[in-house]
Amino acid sequence: MIFSTVSTRWLAAAAILLAFLVFPCRADQPGVTAEALREDLAVLYTTLQEAHYDLYAHRSKDEYDALYRTMLASIDGPVTRAEAAALLQRVTAYGKIGHARIDQGVKEFLASLSDGGMMLPLFMRVVDGRAYLLRAPDLDGRLRAGTEVLRVDGEPVLAWLERVSNVVSAERPYMALAQLEESLPAAAWLELGPRASVRVTARNADGRTFEETVDALSLAEFRVLSRLRPTTRVADFNTREFRLLGEDIAYLRPGPFFNTEAASDGPAPSYEDSAFRRFLDDAFGKILAAGTRDLIIDLRNNPGGDNSFSDPMVAWFADEPFRFASRFMLKASAATKAYYAKQEPEEGDMLAKLIAAEIAQPNGTRYAFELPMVPPREGKRYEGRVYVLVNRHSYSNATTTAALIQDYGFGTIVGEETADVPTTYASVVYFDLPKTGITVTYPKSYIVRPSGDERVRGVVPTHRIVEPVIPPATDIVLERAVKLVRAQRR
């Protein structure tokens, strides 16, 4: 494992979880004393300074020091675990690095729902500076999916969303807003606290402006709303799929770049890849047998994972050796060494090499790690054209995989710009805070995309396909991609 940046994107799964899972109730947990929170805040900031590859990449140290003092001064008594998690996440997210995050706040939000708590059923997407509802937030249908939102509680909606995004780890507003599409109820609950309702000012398609109250719902009520006013889901992007589309076009959705069949017993998923490799071998075997001329690889809504999964996929159609980064830098620290001490790598594998390199470096040192080139697959390979579908929800290793394919010329990128960035601070590891036990994720590396472009920008498609705010019953993005493939043959 090298990349290892699976993007649970600290809030990204919240909407799916609260809509479809049944949460076990928990016994009330004790709150956090002011003294314990102050100690954990101090450990958090100190450890991030020491172990994060560059905590001050997007914020100056003076700015960060000022925030730390403000947060410290705000602790004037005991708080709930949710309030503690929110405060600690605000500090972690302040650096505008997507892979520096604390997931505990989402766990507290979901636990609150399971215990009878309430949520604001607001989900929005921002397109060209305008916010639209992704789903109806009430059973009466006063506010419909696709309705434009102008203000929330009298505050301009973009300003309100910016304030809520204080608890979202993201390199830029586009990334924060993309994550809020799936997790706005959780973020609002953490940043604003529980609310019984909000007042929404909206505008209809005919230009009429009106106001409506959106009431908070229990989990049971939200499930009823989801059944009565469902949103269209064109595919389950967490699954793996291969099919032949006809006219010598094949479709491959690899799914997340980690082991989806193995349950995670910690903050990281399993990277055992035998099932994934069998899936690839079967899919490409059928592609070759069918004489496929064009292949569409679908990385939309892909949370990422590790290049130990994505590299074997790319090797099936690569025509020269490749690697996912032109430069791979690491920072040595006591926290990373402590994390590695708990690992049990096999002798000679990549993790063992990373551990050896880390041990050899004094703490605080930034050092280069030479990535091996990955050769094209031996034997039969796919030699047709490749098109890669991406969208704003192609995160982490899905983003870097798309950049790799684009930069080496292995395929053509189609869709919308990714919210995540392929030149990134990543390769995440973890440490636990001493008093609350809250787990903190931080990036120990700096990864530069193969082209060497260090701008904070996503993967920009060669051919843009705009995703509708409210998807129709069929996957029109894929349909447009197929139409593009056919047109490119002329």
Is residue 266, in this structure, part of any structural domain at all?
yes
pLDDT on residue 17:
45
Residue 231's nearest CA partner among 115, 136, 366 is 136
Dihedral (CA of 337, 341, 342, 345) sign: positive
What CATH number does residue 156 fall under?
Answer: 2.30.42.10
Q: How many domains does the chain divide into?
A: 3
Specify whether 195 is located in the same domain as 297: no
Answer yes or no: are the C-beta atoms of 294 and 387 closer than 8 Å: yes
Specify whether 113 is located in the same domain as 44: yes
Answer yes or no: are the C-beta atoms of 484 and 387 closer than 8 Å: yes
The secondary structure of 347-404 as a DSSP string is: TTSHHHHHHHHHHTS-TT-EEE--PPPBPPPSS----SEEEEEE-TT--THHHHHHHH
pLDDT on residue 265:
58
Per-residue pLDDT of the chain (490 residues; tens, 9 = 90+): 565 544 444 444 444 444 444 444 454 567 999 999 999 999 999 999 999 999 999 999 999 999 999 999 999 999 999 999 999 999 999 999 999 999 999 999 999 999 999 999 999 999 999 999 999 999 888 899 999 999 999 999 999 999 999 999 999 999 999 999 999 999 999 999 999 999 999 999 889 999 999 999 999 999 999 999 888 777 788 899 999 999 999 999 999 999 988 766 556 688 889 999 999 999 999 999 999 999 999 999 999 999 999 999 999 999 999 999 999 999 999 999 999 999 988 888 889 999 999 999 999 999 999 999 999 999 999 999 999 999 999 999 999 999 999 999 999 999 999 999 999 999 999 999 999 999 999 999 999 999 999 999 999 999 999 999 988 889 999 999 999 999 998 7
Residue that the structure tokens 């991609």 belong to: 481
Specify whether 347 is located in the same domain as 442: yes
Is residue 236, in this structure, part of any structural domain at all?
no
Q: Give the C-alpha separation, 392 to 177, whole Å.
A: 10
At which of 95, 117, 139 does a domain end?
A: 117
pLDDT on residue 18:
45
**Element of type H or E holding 460:** none
Specify whether 39 is located in the same domain as 164: no
Specify whether 300 is located in the same domain as 440: yes
SS3 198: strand
Query: Tokens at residue 470, please?
Result: 């409210």
Specify whether 24 is located in the same domain as 97: yes
At which of 194, 228, 262 does a domain end?
A: 228
Is residue 481, in this structure, part of any structural domain at all?
yes
At which of 175, 207, 228 does a domain end?
A: 228
Is residue 2, in this structure, part of any structural domain at all?
no
Residue 89's nearest CA partner among 76, 73, 108 is 108
Is residue 1, in this structure, part of any structural domain at all?
no
Specify whether 154 is located in the same domain as 182: yes
pLDDT on residue 267:
62
What CATH number does residue 433 fall under?
Answer: 3.90.226.10
Specify whether 95 is located in the same domain as 180: no
User: What is the residue range of 289's domain?
Assistant: 241-488
Backbone angles phi, psi at 253, to 5 degrees: -110, 105
- The CA angle 136-139-144, to the nearest 5 degrees, is 25
Is residue 388, in this structure, part of any structural domain at all?
yes
pLDDT on residue 13:
43
Is residue 267, in this structure, part of any structural domain at all?
yes
pLDDT on residue 3:
54
Specify whether 110 is located in the same domain as 125: no
Specify whether 128 is located in the same domain as 100: no
Q: Give the C-alpha separation, 336 to 363, whole Å.
A: 9
Specify whether 257 is located in the same domain as 209: no
Q: What is the pTM of this model?
A: 0.92
Specify whether 331 is located in the same domain as 201: no
Is residue 50, in this structure, part of any structural domain at all?
yes
pLDDT on residue 132:
97
